[in-house]
Amino acid sequence: MAMEHKAFLYRDIDDFLSVTVPYLKDGLANDQSVIAVVPEPRLTALRDVFAGPGQPIAFVDSAEFYRHPVRTLRDYQHVVKQSAPRRVCALAEPVWQGWDERQTLEWIRYESLINVVFASSGARALCPYDTGTLPPRVVAEAKRTHPLLLSSEHEGLNHEYVDPVTVGTACDRGPRTGRPRDAEYLPVAGADLHVLRAFVGERAARHGLPKRPAQNLVTAANEVAANALQHGTPPAGLWIWRDGDDVVCEIGDNGFWRPPPNPLTGFIPPETALQRGFGLWTVRLLVDLVEIQAGWDGTFVRLSVSRSASEPAGA
């Protein structure tokens, strides 16, 4: 059964409730597995409407659920699998505040990937967007990433929808920012990456990463370096530096990596570890942000981990 993925553009709390309350009631009436992932204060407003004993709706604060695009995809997959054979009815309002440009691009990619990851799940997803507070760019991207649209001007098929491959390619097309002059460098060569792991671990600790995120950065850097040695073109190298609150580690080689045509590669777990993309999926779970860019000067994978992340990164 095909998925229904609809963007809902609303103006205020009354407009929000006028659509979301009937939507959730319809899910309950059809014996669907109903989940509402919404930020405050709208979460409390919905709870008040559906207050009562034995309420079957799962209410979740978006601020807790929408922290990391790949982990959020994984968590929604878990919801769908746990609910089977019942159909999932999700009210899913992403968090768009507090992200920089790079993170915003990853959440745009996430909304687009939903259409592929859950294409045959039969799930229903209504994604509210507050047109009164969100930047116009975010609202415009909502129209590009949802096949269906509900607004004061339109209801039904969304003619501005763009396929996930095109969206993902655009997310990776931006110019690569340079490294600072004080970035520390380590050449990457040989099958034994013990020196690399020690190098990254020591610098991560020096830059103030807590133990768990530092260990995850070491594991992610090791995976990317091993892939560069196996599939890239020498010479390969690693750079590490601090960028504000982030510790950044970049691994590069002289090869020109071409992204696979499947937009899911590296964003969901392959069925087996032998399939392409398993390592990249693990890397994306381990760190806060992965940026991959290739050009005439080689292929570079940049890993960023925040020193103040409240949730330890991990698979």
Q: Both 134 and 220 in a single domain?
A: no
Domains contained in the chain, number: 2
Residue 311 maps to a domain: no
Alpha carbons 108 and 105: distance in angstroms, whole number:
5
Residue 53 maps to a domain: yes
Alpha carbons 119 and 16: distance in angstroms, whole number:
26
The tokens of 69 are what? Answer: 């695009």
Q: Both 162 and 190 in a single domain?
A: no
Residue 177 maps to a domain: no
Whether the Cβ atoms of residue 287 and residue 240 lie closer than 8 Å to each other: no
Residue 299 maps to a domain: yes
Which range of residues forms the domain containing residue 102? Answer: 4-171
In CATH, what number is assigned to the domain containing residue 54?
Answer: 3.40.50.300
Q: What are the pLDDT digits (tens) for 145-188?
A: 999 999 988 899 999 999 998 898 887 776 667 899 999 999 99
Q: Both 71 and 128 in a single domain?
A: yes
Alpha carbons 254 and 294: distance in angstroms, whole number:
9
Q: Both 200 and 94 in a single domain?
A: no
Q: What are the pLDDT digits (tens) for 105-156?
A: 999 999 999 999 999 999 999 999 999 999 999 999 999 999 999 998 889 9
Q: Which of 19-28, 122-131, 258-267 is the least confident region? A: 258-267
Q: Both 188 and 288 in a single domain?
A: yes
Residue 313 maps to a domain: no
In CATH, what number is assigned to the domain containing residue 299?
Answer: 3.30.565.10
Residue 178 maps to a domain: no
Residue 314 maps to a domain: no
Q: Both 150 and 192 in a single domain?
A: no
Q: With residue 65 as reference, give the H or E element that holds it.
A: helix 62-65
pTM, whole model, 2 decimals?
0.85
Residue 60 per-residue DSSP state:
E
pLDDT of residue 15: 97
Q: How many CA atoms lie within 13 A of 56 on its CB side?
A: 15
Of 171, 195, 211, which closes a domain? 171
Of 171, 196, 231, which closes a domain? 171
Q: Both 43 and 148 in a single domain?
A: yes
244 phi/psi in degrees, rounded to 5: 65, -120
CA 94 to chain centre: 11
Q: Both 60 and 84 in a single domain?
A: yes
Residue 176 maps to a domain: no
Closest CA relative to residue 46, chosen from 16, 75, 66, 76? 16
Q: Both 219 and 275 in a single domain?
A: yes
pLDDT of residue 293: 81
Q: Both 153 and 197 in a single domain?
A: no
Of 139, 171, 203, which closes a domain? 171
Q: Both 196 and 288 in a single domain?
A: yes
Q: Both 52 and 200 in a single domain?
A: no
Alpha carbons 87 and 2: distance in angstroms, whole number:
11
